[in-house]
Amino acid sequence: NLRAELVAAFVCYAGPLDQNLRAELVASFTDELLKHHIPFHNDLELVRFLSNENEISDWHLAGLPKDDLSIQNGMIIKHCIRQPLLIDP
């Protein structure tokens, strides 16, 4: 499953990146897919692949800010086996 592989790459490499660099990382994923003529869904929705609205709502109720970076950090923490390196400005 291509989406699963992209999500795994995001979880592995995006932690130390800020929001702009994370967006560039996802854009580089899609650029490589296009370059090699690999079909994929235009809206990768990496965070929504590993979490759902109810879970994200629970995170917000627990005090997690509602910005995309915080939600991505929550998703990375949830799916890492080891302690992830995250940047929290």
Q: Is 4 exposed, middle or buried (0-12, 13-18, 19+ CB in 10 A)?
A: exposed
What would the two tokens of residue 24 be?
């560039």
What would the two tokens of residue 77 be?
């923490």
What predicted TM-score, i.e. pTM, was given to this entire model? 0.79
Q: What is the pLDDT of residues 59-82, one digit of tens each?
A: 999 999 999 889 988 888 888 888
Say how far apart CA 38 and CA 14 lie, in whole Å: 22
Q: What is the pLDDT of residues 15-65, one digit of tens each?
A: 888 889 989 998 898 898 889 988 877 666 777 788 889 999 999 999 999
